[in-house]
Structure 1
């Protein structure tokens, strides 16, 4: 059975309820339409629903739709959304300001419904194409998890966010044990299959907002765990080691355990303005070194504040 295709999502921000009804009727064939009647609710929905297209009235109540467009384009959660400014006839002079604010189009009344619908379809198609290209640029081609460039960019954003909120952030570095002997014994093609299976197993456990897995390099992966304290970091370490071992990928040259396993180094920090991603990576890498030196197929946890390795119970 084919999975149901996801409908396009269009957000319309307008304070005139009659205009919303007319626009909803025009847009219903182009996707699912959601509405906001204020700048505040419109910005919230844009950031949390991430629509394919946002249509904003040039005036939303007493507020400027163009100023809202600028705010959306400056916010990390809505900056990639396509914005179309919809103006009244007497507001035609706002077109240049709208385009300079980051809008992809400007339409002033009166307009022909068919032309309006065609332009909406075009912008949705362009938005979908852009999203696909961005997804491809962010992913590792072999394992289909995120790549190192995405990891470094997104992890820095998470550090800033956790600093603002004063919440603990955890980074796990995972390394497949004895991977070179595995490649030598089973061949690089089988090695690629192993990397994909491990990556997908790790990724299957990432469900919370902001949590993600990336290929850090070679047979090493990085996992960013938002709002995760030391106790929960230890739970994750146990889970991930058990998860990979449960795949039961045969490895006759792995020493004591004849299956593919991972070692994990986990670093937890409640960041401040001096905390850097490089510090966090170095701390997790130190814990990973200790896990491997202690026999592999295990994890160790470190805290950046104390700069000491804490052995997991």
Structure 2
């Protein structure tokens, strides 16, 4: 499948205070794409946050928050800045186009527009977006196990902390260590160790059931699970599931002082984000609990829910 093929069936947000303009663009693009619309800038930002469109077609002149302000707000948001914007507006001076590009727009189409030109420009921006998304996915994925990498975890931790802070909901984290993994490598070799990591990662991935949950490789034989909007009781359910899935693999570990097969230890914490707490604190508590689990015999978890 080519990048051009992937540019089809995008989610496009049309922002214009005139419904007739929205209807015209919907007619032009609706057969190939999922089309959303907003009649003002504030609603456009709300839809962008909740629906995450692949592309925004934005009018410049609107009452209240105009298109330039909307574009600037999108670019100022870590969550939304990657969404490409095309201005579609009656403004036609070079100065207006320059202002739009300086605000962060990727393209500029003057009204009245040519239908073929609109389709071509939309296709181009969606293709570029798909390519950028694919490259970003590669940069945020652990090459060995196929789960998210530590950079991806760090980015997601920051954004989910802010989201849970806004909504007043808890954020849970499980820090996981494969017990005596150095001894496993010494016993079976590094190639077998890589296979073990892949099998354990795949087993734990089966425990991640909600779209907002995340499994990442934290480093070496350590993994981490992030559970937004989850209290300590829910996090414990996931921890038990992780233990069961890894145990079901029955991977032999002849030199382990803990068991004759591969096991995991975990630190489980749920915290309500607030002014007196931080994402780093969540990680530190999980790390301390993991240490306690390992010191008390391994193949177990320790949990806490600090205020």
TM over 0.5: yes
2:228 aligns with one of 222, 226, 229: 226
In the TM superposition, what whole-angstrom CA distance separates every residue of 1:25-76 from its partner, at most 9, and x where no partner exists? 3224653333333334322322222222111112345541221222222233
**TM-superposed deviation, 1:255:** 4.2
List gaps (5 residues or longer) in structure 2. Answer: none
Q: Which residue of 2 aligns with 1:262?
A: 264
* 2:147–2:217 CA contact under 8 A, matched in 1: yes
**TM-superposed deviation, 1:139:** 1.3
Q: Which residue of 2 aligns with 1:238?
A: 240
Q: Which residue of 2 aligns with 1:157?
A: 159
Structure 1 distance, partners of 2:205, 2:248, is 15
**TM-superposed deviation, 1:261:** 1.6
Q: Which residue of 2 aligns with 1:274?
A: 276
Structure 1 distance, partners of 2:104, 2:91, is 21
Structure 1 residues 27 and 148, CA gap change in structure 2 (3 angstroms): same
Structure 2 distance, partners of 1:112, 1:165, is 44
Structure 1 residues 48 and 165, CA gap change in structure 2 (3 angstroms): closer
Structure 2 distance, partners of 1:157, 1:29, is 34
Structure 1 residues 239 and 164, CA gap change in structure 2 (3 angstroms): same
Task: Say whether residues 1:33 and 2:31 are aligned partners.
Answer: no
Q: Aligned pair count?
A: 302
**TM-superposed deviation, 1:222:** 1.3
**TM-superposed deviation, 1:82:** 0.4
**TM-superposed deviation, 1:195:** 1.1
1:126-275 equivalent positions in 2, closer than 5 A:
126-255=128-257, 257-275=259-277
Structure 1 residues 235 and 135, CA gap change in structure 2 (3 angstroms): same
In the TM superposition, what whole-angstrom CA distance separates every residue of 1:234-284 from its partner, at most 9, and x where no partner exists? 222222211211222233333453322211011222233232333322221
**TM-superposed deviation, 1:104:** 0.7
Which sits farther off after the overlay, 90-99 or 197-206?
Answer: 90-99
* 1:249–1:259 CA contact under 8 A, matched in 2: yes
RMSD (Å), alpha carbons: 2.4
Structure 2 distance, partners of 1:146, 1:247, is 21
List gaps (5 residues or longer) in structure 1. Answer: 306-313
Structure 2 distance, partners of 1:207, 1:104, is 36
Task: Say whether residues 1:86 and 2:88 are aligned partners.
Answer: yes
Task: Say whether residues 1:120 and 2:148 are aligned partners.
Answer: no
1:49-64 equivalent positions in 2, closer than 5 A:
49-60=51-62, 63-64=65-66
Structure 1 distance, partners of 2:18, 2:93, is 16
Structure 2 distance, partners of 1:160, 1:191, is 37
